[in-house]
Amino acid sequence: MKTVCLRIHDDASLAEAVDRAAKTLRDGGVVAFPTETVYGLGANALDAGAVARIFAAKGRPSNNPLIVHTNSVEGARRLCATWPEPAAKLAEEFWPGPLTMVLPKAECIPSIVTAGGPTVALRMPRHPVARALIEATQLPLAAPSANLSTRISAVRAEHVLRMLDGRIEMVLDGGQTPGGLESTVVDLTSDIPRLLRPGLLDSAALEAVLGRKLAKVVEEAGAPDAAFPSPGMLKKHYAPLAPVRLVDDDGFEMVRQFLAQGFRIGWMPLASAQTVVALPLGVESTAMPNEPVGYAARLYEVLHALEIHGVDQIVIQRPPMTDAWQAVHDRLQRAAARDEE
Ligand code: AMP
Ligand code: MG
């Protein structure tokens, strides 16, 4: 299959690209598009055959459910069986935006979308391209991140093509995605709201609106062949090809040791900690932002760049252990956990 990449740079190219993509989606095709978090890989959520093609393109296990994207609260309400008060409150406050809510599913959602489970994950994205695409199709779009299963998410169209060229019909290139990290996922199917996956929306903001603490989900929850409560709970997830070492100091000592062994190194100290001025040959270094929003926006971009460079080892300085860094820590932990699989 030839993957068509359409560059969006103004209103006219947006209208034309969205028009073509909407036709492809209505015909059961698969299209990657930018959202405010990362690139999504979309198909008609009401068409089981189209959704099956997302799983095939990504090599995603069928027990890993997908997020369904919609353009309005009314649209979302048609996709779930109940709309509890906390959902109404959170939608009012945070939609459109990087918040995914898990609710009891409506009949119209094919079971392949929910990995056979009784719940559906819903989100209303804010990115203008995502919104225009949903508007043009007049369909809910099932869309996981546009990367091969277990690999790092794509924050540019080039990253999508690195992994999915020839496997999907189309990519809408709307430039780099601003948030850089996946959405925050909350489960609202029981009386106690649970945080299933920390993400771009700070969970403290959710708790403030809900007026209560979110329960956290234990990482290994779920039997191996049961549907995962959340795909983000796959331990090996978001992992770059090279092994990742998370360290508490700036990491330069470890970089030197790896260099002595002849490795090519990717090094990601925090900007505040970087003391070394002249870097030895064989080290690709990026000083990472000192605050979590900026860090999240750069993380996958830097990891893709290091993959493209073909480094053998990645050394990352662990950011401060505070709540504001929760989502970043989660992704770094998973990236580093790959060797334990
Ligand atoms: P991604 O592949 O990065 O888009 O991840 C999809 C996300 O969808 C996961 O992290 C889950 O949190 C979420 N998800 C989708 N469907 C469900 C569901 N029925 N129950 C819980 N989480 C879900
Ligand atoms: Mg993903």
DSSP SS3 for 42: strand
pLDDT at 27 over 60: yes
Model confidence at 274, in pLDDT bands (50, 70, 90)? low
Tens-place pLDDT, residues 196-239: 999 999 999 999 999 999 998 754 444 444 455 555 555 656 78
Domain span including residue 289: 244-336
Model confidence at 337, in pLDDT bands (50, 70, 90)? confident
Q: What is the DSSP string of 53-102?
A: HHHHHHT--TTS--EEE-SSHHHHHHHBS---HHHHHHHHHH-SSSEEEE
Report how far ligand 2's centroid is from the alpha carbon of 149 (Å).
Answer: 7
Asked whether residue 116 is domain-assigned, the answer is yes
Does residue 96 have a cis bond before it (omega within 30 degrees)?
Answer: yes
Report how far ligand 1's centroid is from the alpha carbon of 43 (Å).
Answer: 15
- Residue range 302-310: mean pLDDT, rounded: 96
Contacting residues for 191 by C-beta, under 8 A, at least 6 apart? none
pLDDT at 269 over 60: yes
CATH code assigned at 258: 3.40.50.11030
- What is the amino acid identity at position 218? V
Starting from the CA of residue 119, give the closest ligand. Answer: 1
Q: With CA atoms as reference, report the closest residue to 32 among 140, 164, 183.
A: 164
**Dist CA 108 CA 332 (whole Å):** 37
Q: Whose CA is nearest to atom 2 of ligand 1?
A: 144
**Dist CA 146 CA 300 (whole Å):** 13
pLDDT at 186 over 50: yes
Report how far ligand 1's centroid is from the alpha carbon of 248 (Å).
Answer: 31
Report how far ligand 2's centroid is from the alpha carbon of 201 (Å).
Answer: 16
pLDDT at 61 over 70: yes
Contacting residues for 212 by C-beta, under 8 A, at least 6 apart? 193
Same domain, 95 and 174: yes
Phi, psi (rounded to 5 degrees) for 214: -85, 140
Angle at the Cα of 291 from the Cα atoms of 235 and 264, rounded to 5 degrees: 60
Same domain, 196 and 267: no
Tens-place pLDDT, residues 126-184: 999 999 999 999 999 999 999 999 899 999 999 999 999 999 999 999 999 999 999 99
Report how far ligand 1's centroid is from the alpha carbon of 277 (Å).
Answer: 42
Q: With CA atoms as reference, report the closest residue to 176 among 300, 28, 325, 316.
A: 300
β-pair partners for 31 = 42, 170
CA-to-CA separations, 110 to 114, 141, 162, 168, in angstroms, rounded = 7, 12, 30, 21
Confidence at residue 277, expressed as pLDDT on a 0 to 100 scale: 67
Chain centroid, CA 155 distance in Å: 9
**Dist CA 267 CA 257 (whole Å):** 13
DSSP SS3 for 173: strand
Atom of ligand 1 nearest to the CA of 182: 3
Asked whether residue 67 is domain-assigned, the answer is yes
Atom of ligand 1 nearest to the CA of 119: 19
Confidence at residue 224, expressed as pLDDT on a 0 to 100 scale: 42
pLDDT at 68 over 70: yes
| Buried/exposed 24-47: b ≥16 CB within 10 Å, e otherwise | bbeeebbbbbbbbbbbbbbbbbbb
Asked whether residue 231 is domain-assigned, the answer is no
- What is the amino acid identity at position 111? S
- Boundary-marking domain end, from 196, 216, 236: 216
Phi, psi (rounded to 5 degrees) for 150: 75, -10
- Residue range 281-294: mean pLDDT, rounded: 94
Model confidence at 264, in pLDDT bands (50, 70, 90)? very high
pLDDT at 319 over 80: yes
Helices (H), the chain: 11-26, 48-58, 73-79, 85-94, 128-137, 157-164, 203-210, 252-260, 292-309, 326-336
**Dist CA 139 CA 68 (whole Å):** 10
For the chain, give the mean pLDDT.
93
Confidence at residue 301, expressed as pLDDT on a 0 to 100 scale: 97
| Tally of domains in the chain | 2
Of 30, 36, 55, 67, the one to substitute when testing ligand 1's pocket (max ligand atoms within 8 A of C-beta) is 67
Atom of ligand 1 nearest to the CA of 229: 21
Same domain, 158 and 263: no
Ion ligand 2: residues, Cβ under 5 Å: 145
With tokens 């209208």, the residue in question is 15
CATH code assigned at 64: 3.90.870.10
pLDDT at 341 over 50: no
Tens-place pLDDT, residues 87-133: 999 999 999 999 999 999 999 999 999 999 999 999 999 999 999 99
Confidence at residue 235, expressed as pLDDT on a 0 to 100 scale: 61
Confidence at residue 281, expressed as pLDDT on a 0 to 100 scale: 83
List residues near ligand 1 (CB under 6 A). Answer: 65-67, 100, 102, 114, 117, 119-121, 144-145, 182, 185, 196-197, 229-232
pLDDT at 307 over 80: yes
Confidence at residue 230, expressed as pLDDT on a 0 to 100 scale: 59
Same domain, 313 and 277: yes
Confidence at residue 189, expressed as pLDDT on a 0 to 100 scale: 97
Same domain, 131 and 56: yes
Asked whether residue 104 is domain-assigned, the answer is yes
- Boundary-marking domain end, from 167, 197, 216: 216
Same domain, 130 and 9: yes
